[in-house]
Structure 1
């Protein structure tokens, strides 16, 4: 039995459909969400989020089980404490009296026990920041390079090469100015032991064979 062109195309349609389904990319979890920073405070039995430089407030709903409610409870020393949060989520219409709506949190980047981070003038230019202790170190990366600060030493500006690594992490490497510097970050909850700040990245700084541990977060110039 010969297949006519019409019959052949009809027979192959399920195969084409199957290939199309197999080739579809997974949905981007960031679609429809916005990264935002603001203050957290408890009121009326809820955790409220007030975006930086705004008067509006939104009830926090942990839509993706990020742990933000428990993290805020752990950091607040009293019911009146104001915290800072860096999150990705979606703002919805008013659902409760005396608020401007609800914030469905989909990703938690950082929670810290200070409200002053809203005034950070460098946040929007940073792609990544990492820091650690014993000894103290701090690394800031942007489109212009990175600057490494270490206790007792002058700031060290360096160009760098960024590479993605399996598991969603990345590395920043530099061999300029006689220094071999590598920063490795991986998506893992990390708590700064000195401040209690909760970050979404675990960091490791390697300098000429020495390894230093720390935490990190993506800056405002990175839309991950």
Structure 2
């Protein structure tokens, strides 16, 4: 009977929908409860690190309560050209002190990179996962409606996928369609890619051939 119910549910899903397995119990609070995810710029001023949200003039003094190492990450990218973009999660105190608009108690980093265009990325809010690698070049864009794999010298490949939550915050995305077998393995770990520091390592296997890269959760996901 259980298998019949599962099969009936799957028949209701559109071809490009993603099946997500949730690990939290019904009464357990989400670990991100009370925290806000935002994107913006990191600015060093007067010996302090400040955060300015995308498209705003407000500035918040950064307090790294989550021991994310944001100061070190900012220092490592200081010599790179472009705005120091950051995608983060934390709690905001709007009490104005010291000429600031408040304090950001930083809990989690998703991405830190030198970029003048990241704030205006039109696809960010729709994506749940983004991953990429080199030699040869590949890029994976995942959303609630499916995943698209771009590879050097190949036509874009759009596929449905299944998602499996694994221990220690790891994640597997898999697809077997159009005579292609694709597995994507993601793990929460610092990963450096040029002028970008991302906080997922990624491995993609296409018909058994593996390539590695870096990744991050997009704005369409609440991890």
Q: Shorter-chain TM-score category?
A: 0.7 to 0.9
Give per-residue Cα distances to partners, 1:87-107, cap 9 Å, x unaligned.
000111346422111111001
Spell out the pairing of 1:12-51 with structure 2 (5 A cutoff). 28-51=30-53
Counterpart CA distance in 1 for 2:55 and 2:197 is 22
2:82–2:116 Cα contact (<8 Å) kept: no
Matched, 1:53 2:55: yes
CA RMSD of aligned residues (A): 1.8
Task: Please give the TM-score of this superposition, normalised by the length of structure 2.
Answer: 0.84
Structure 1 spans left out of the alignment, 5+ residues: 1-24
Spell out the pairing of 1:1-224 with structure 2 (5 A cutoff). 28-77=30-79, 82-94=83-95, 96-192=97-193, 195-224=194-223
Q: State the aligned residue count.
A: 198
Counterpart CA distance in 1 for 2:48 and 2:83 is 13
Ranked by relative contact order (alpha carbons within 8 Å, sequence separation 6 or more), the top structure is: 2
C-alpha deviation, 1:209, in angstroms: 1.3
- The 3-state SS of whatever aligns with 1:71 is helix
Moved more, 136-145 or 95-104: 95-104
Counterpart CA distance in 1 for 2:146 and 2:29 is 32
Which of structures 1 and 2 has the bigger CA Rg?
Answer: 1
C-alpha deviation, 1:81, in angstroms: 5.9
Counterpart CA distance in 2 for 1:44 and 1:163 is 46
C-alpha deviation, 1:115, in angstroms: 3.3
Counterpart CA distance in 1 for 2:164 and 2:150 is 22
- The 3-state SS of whatever aligns with 1:31 is coil
1:39–1:115 Cα contact (<8 Å) kept: no
Counterpart CA distance in 2 for 1:196 and 1:81 is 10
Structure 2 spans left out of the alignment, 5+ residues: 1-26
C-alpha deviation, 1:126, in angstroms: 0.4
Task: Please give the TM-score of this superposition, normalised by the length of structure 1.
Answer: 0.84
- The 3-state SS of whatever aligns with 2:189 is strand
Counterpart CA distance in 2 for 1:144 and 1:218 is 15
Moved more, 90-99 or 157-166: 90-99
Give per-residue Cα distances to partners, 1:144-203, cap 9 Å, x unaligned.
1000000111111111111111211111111111111111001111111xx231111110
Counterpart CA distance in 2 for 1:127 and 1:220 is 6
Counterpart CA distance in 2 for 1:150 and 1:44 is 44
Give the number of the structure whose residues are more often helix, by fraction.
1
